[in-house]
Chains A and B, each alone.
Chain A
Amino acid sequence: MEQFLSLTLGGVVSGSVYAAFALALVLIWRSTRIVNFAQGSMAAATTFIAVAVIDAGGSYWLALVVALLSGLVMGALIERVVIRPVEGGPELNAVIVTLGLFVAIQGIVALVAGVDERAFVPPFSKVGYEVREGFTLLSLSPNSIWTVAAVLVTMLALTALFRFTRVGLAMRASAFGQEVARLLGVRVGRMLTLGWALAAAVGALAGMLIAGDVSFVGPTFMDTLIVFGFVAAVLGGLDSPIGAVVGGLLLGLALNYVRGYLDDSLLGMASLVILVVVLLVRPGGLFSTTAARRA
């Protein structure tokens, strides 16, 4: 029972990181119908920038701000320079371009920062709270509370942005009907760039949270996360931010049970099985209501 409780809480924590990652993928999918496979490498890059800030004597919080800002800039640049030409083209071309970015950015990070993994100190203690005498919940620590809270706040902020601001409305409009939005005076191109920038910033946050959670960073430390984030996003239907968060939490729980009761090495296989089952049974995600349309 105690193990189950601990695994469940741990699942919520890692699930919220998957959720942040899935959120980044969904933001991009909604606006440009592209799955950004480079998200993991981009997040690794921003996390390494943060590490450089910390190495230079900056605090974690300064590093976090720098990471988010560099995410914004990187996302906007990538959209403008390499994604714009393949937007609306054949699906495979866009997929291959983001895969190319995935490999290239990872290589650049390793070239600049070296291939070795390095320690990363989380902002809060990772010592679990003692619930009662002699029973410490390992997975419930100040750092894990910070992780979950940061993701929740981000999700709420994004929801508010989309629902209550003019920019959010314009972004939604350009995602749903590009031509109509353009006719009504929305600068669609700018909205797409903004979408990518926001997504990259959310990805950068996920990178910082994951680095704190596992206590190390390396050029490839986000490799599995791109798969988990994708599975979480597909669980939620790829189209809805709330679906992404719920999908992330569900996946986090499922994978943590696999980790606890079976073995670490089966995580990849487990996520594959979950993904295939969802795609075959409910291709529109767990919450889809409309039937998939056939082109």
Chain B
Amino acid sequence: MSETQTPTGEPGAASDDAPSTATAAANASPARATGRRSFLPRLTLLRHLLILVVGAALAVLLLESTELNTNIKLGNVAYLAVAAGGLTLLTGLSGQISLGHGALMAVGAYTTALMLDVERGDEPPSLFLVFLAAIAATTVVGALVGVAAARLHGPYLAGATLALAVGIPGLALYFSDTLGGEQGITVRPPERPEWFDNAVEQLSGASGRGLNDKWVAYIAVACLLVTYFFLANLMRSRMGRTWRAVRDQEVAAELAGISLGSWRVLAFVVSAAAAGLAGAVLAIVVQLAAPGSFLPVLSLSLLTAVVIGGLGSLTGALLGSALLVFLPPWLIDIGRDVFDMEEAQASQASFVVYGLLLVVTMLFAPAGLVGTVRLALLRRRAARATAAAGGR
């Protein structure tokens, strides 16, 4: 079971699965690594709870101080970040790559769409139940994929998951009677409770037509916060450490009694659950589940987000997702105004930038944005500590 079956290039190469500098930076706990005092609580759970509360307050502030248009974009950032968070756990911690997370999002989105189909007359189930169902369905698919993926590594795993990304949208076309074919399924917007209207009225005085979009954006951001709280705790827990051991030293981990295979499957399952939730939120934000939203390019964009942000870092995944949402409109404007291009053509510029960023990041700063900054800080502190010690 634990055997990595695919032939590796050279002996010893198998333990190099993860970009090592990339993850070394992400592994260091911000405060403890250098023994410096920090204003954050030492207890991990408390620290994360504090960050969660501050994050929630910031999110409300951000959503209330921006236009409706930006609210919708923040909703997009939120679901991309949920999926990217799952992917960064998988690639950064357990060292497996997945180009199939877009397909896993499709599973979550279609589950949601089937339960909230506009054409269904009866009372829709509660949103909480729908999300749970989407997560459950994706977890099952993720477990299936994970069992196969646990035995593959590097390029083999990338190829297999890429095949998944290409294959799953085809299923929506094949079962077009239930899954709506090319047009997809239109999703019923969630009912917003009355207290929300009142609360928003109090906070920013907004009312009327756009409130539903605002409510959806709040749901998306809430999902993001809860997911990241969960993932952050997981990464700092015994499980997170075990995954790092599996990634960095297969043999040593096995000697320590860790079953490589089952831990890899577990990483895939957790990561898939996040992707499923992301898909469910996507379905509600976009109010549509169609195969066109889940092309391989979505999976590659998610990978771009986590690599640029820094593998293994949730902050990095969030920043990368924000880049995915806010960069394209800006580039399209430039393409239209400066180069006089049509919008569809100009929108391709963002892919050029994603691709080049992926290459440049890997060549010059494999630790990504967050990792590079963190490494630089660690290095400065270490240098200062040495200088202080030498002066004494």
Q: Say yes or no: B362 contacts A279, CB within 8 Å.
A: no
Which one of A108, A227, A263 has the highest number of Cβ atoms from chain B below 10 Å of its Cβ? A227
Nearest A residue (CB) for B357: A100
**Is B208 engaged at the interface, CB distance under 8 Å to the other chain?**
no
Q: Say yes or no: B348 contacts A115, CB within 8 Å.
A: yes
Nearest B residue (CB) for A32: B9
Q: Say yes or no: A90 contacts B19, CB within 8 Å.
A: yes
B241-299 CB contacts (< 8 Å) to partner A: 250, 296-297
Q: Say yes or no: A100 contacts B7, CB within 8 Å.
A: no
Contact of B156 among A94, A270, A279, A295 (CB under 8 A): A279
- With contacts A90-B18, A293-B8 taken as known, whether A223 is within 8 angstroms of B174 at the C-beta atoms is no
- With contacts A100-B359, A294-B3 taken as known, whether A92 is within 8 angstroms of B97 at the C-beta atoms is yes
Q: Say yes or no: A91 contacts B167, CB within 8 Å.
A: no
- With contacts A96-B303, A272-B164, A295-B8 taken as known, whether A265 is within 8 angstroms of B351 at the C-beta atoms is no
In the complex, what distance in Å separates the CA atom of A110 from the CA atom of B158? 24
Which of A33-41, A159-167, A240-248 forms part of the interface with chain B? A33-41
Which of B67-75, B80-88, B146-154, B197-205 forms part of the interface with chain A? B146-154
Q: Say yes or no: A110 contacts B18, CB within 8 Å.
A: no
**Is A122 engaged at the interface, CB distance under 8 Å to the other chain?**
no
**Is B124 engaged at the interface, CB distance under 8 Å to the other chain?**
no
In the complex, what distance in Å separates the CA atom of A280 from the CA atom of B362? 30
In the complex, what distance in Å separates the CA atom of A95 from the CA atom of B362? 10
Which one of B163, B300, B341 has the highest number of Cβ atoms from chain A below 10 Å of its Cβ? B163
**Is B132 engaged at the interface, CB distance under 8 Å to the other chain?**
no
B1-35 interface code vs A (CB 8 A; 1 in, 0 out) = 00111111111111111111000000000000000
In the complex, what distance in Å separates the CA atom of A110 from the CA atom of B5? 39
**Is A60 engaged at the interface, CB distance under 8 Å to the other chain?**
no
Q: In the complex, what's the smallest C-beta–C-beta distance from A29 to chain B, in angstroms? A: 8
Q: Say yes or no: B163 contacts A90, CB within 8 Å.
A: no
B333-368 interface code vs A (CB 8 A; 1 in, 0 out) = 000000001101110111111111111001100100
Q: In the complex, what's the smallest C-beta–C-beta distance from A222 to chain B, in angstroms? A: 12
- With contacts A90-B19, A91-B154, A95-B154 taken as known, whether A106 is within 8 angstroms of B351 at the C-beta atoms is yes
Chain B residues near A110: list those with CB within 8 A: 345, 348, 351
Chain A residues near B358: list those with CB within 8 A: 96-97, 99-100, 103-104
**Is A82 engaged at the interface, CB distance under 8 Å to the other chain?**
yes
Q: Say yes or no: A103 contacts B166, CB within 8 Å.
A: no
Interface band, chain B: 35 or more
**Is A189 engaged at the interface, CB distance under 8 Å to the other chain?**
no
**Is A114 engaged at the interface, CB distance under 8 Å to the other chain?**
yes
Q: In the complex, what's the smallest C-beta–C-beta distance from A104 to chain B, in angstroms? A: 3
In the complex, what distance in Å separates the CA atom of A294 from the CA atom of B174? 40
Contact of B173 among A227, A265, A283 (CB under 8 A): A265
**Is A7 engaged at the interface, CB distance under 8 Å to the other chain?**
no
In the complex, what distance in Å separates the CA atom of A82 from the CA atom of B91? 22
- With contacts A86-B363, A107-B349 taken as known, whether A92 is within 8 angstroms of B355 at the C-beta atoms is no
In the complex, what distance in Å separates the CA atom of A138 from the CA atom of B341? 41
Chain A residues near B170: list those with CB within 8 A: 265-269
Q: Say yes or no: A95 contacts B163, CB within 8 Å.
A: no
**Is B370 engaged at the interface, CB distance under 8 Å to the other chain?**
no
Chain A residues near B6: list those with CB within 8 A: 279, 283, 292
Contact of B355 among A107, A226, A269 (CB under 8 A): A107
Chain A residues near B363: list those with CB within 8 A: 82, 85-86, 97
Chain B residues near A103: list those with CB within 8 A: 297, 300, 304, 351-352, 354-355, 358
DSSP class of B's interface residues: helix, strand, loop or mixed? helix
When A and B form their complex, what is the total count of cross-chain residue pairs whose Cβ atoms lie within 8 Å? 193
Q: Say yes or no: B7 contacts A93, CB within 8 Å.
A: no
Q: In the complex, what's the smallest C-beta–C-beta distance from A236 to chain B, in angstroms? A: 13
Q: Say yes or no: A280 contacts B162, CB within 8 Å.
A: no
In the complex, what distance in Å separates the CA atom of A101 from the CA atom of B356? 7
**Is A153 engaged at the interface, CB distance under 8 Å to the other chain?**
no
- With contacts A99-B99, A104-B355, A294-B4 taken as known, whether A234 is within 8 angstroms of B167 at the C-beta atoms is no
**Is B115 engaged at the interface, CB distance under 8 Å to the other chain?**
no
Chain B residues near A226: list those with CB within 8 A: 162
In the complex, what distance in Å separates the CA atom of A275 from the CA atom of B100? 14
Chain A residues near B314: list those with CB within 8 A: none
**Is B95 engaged at the interface, CB distance under 8 Å to the other chain?**
yes
A98-122 interface code vs B (CB 8 A; 1 in, 0 out) = 0111111111101100110000000
Chain B residues near A279: list those with CB within 8 A: 5-6, 148, 151-152, 156, 160
Q: In the complex, what's the smallest C-beta–C-beta distance from A199 to chain B, in angstroms? A: 15
In the complex, what distance in Å separates the CA atom of A48 from the CA atom of B237? 51
Chain B residues near A20: list those with CB within 8 A: none
Nearest A residue (CB) for B364: A85
Chain A residues near B49: list those with CB within 8 A: none
Q: Say yes or no: B156 contacts A90, CB within 8 Å.
A: no
Nearest A residue (CB) for B4: A294
**Is B143 engaged at the interface, CB distance under 8 Å to the other chain?**
no
Q: Say yes or no: B163 contacts A275, CB within 8 Å.
A: yes
Chain A residues near B41: list those with CB within 8 A: none
Q: In the complex, what's the smallest C-beta–C-beta distance from B48 to chain A, in angstroms? A: 28
B159-183 interface code vs A (CB 8 A; 1 in, 0 out) = 1101110111111011000000000
Q: Say yes or no: B352 contacts A99, CB within 8 Å.
A: no
Contact of A268 among B10, B166, B342 (CB under 8 A): B166
**Is B307 engaged at the interface, CB distance under 8 Å to the other chain?**
yes
In the complex, what distance in Å separates the CA atom of A101 from the CA atom of B351? 10
**21 A-B Cβ contacts within 8 A?**
A34-B155, A91-B155, A93-B19, A94-B155, A97-B359, A100-B355, A100-B358, A102-B300, A104-B351, A107-B355, A115-B348, A219-B348, A230-B163, A234-B159, A266-B170, A269-B167, A276-B160, A279-B148, A284-B7, A293-B8, A295-B8
Binding site for A on B (CB under 8 A): 3-20, 91, 95, 97, 99, 148, 151-156, 158-160, 162-164, 166-171, 173-174, 250, 296-297, 300, 303-304, 307, 341-342, 344-346, 348-359, 362-363, 366
Kindly list the 3 A-B residue pairs having the minimum CB-CB distance in the complex, ordered from nearest.
A104-B355, A100-B358, A107-B351
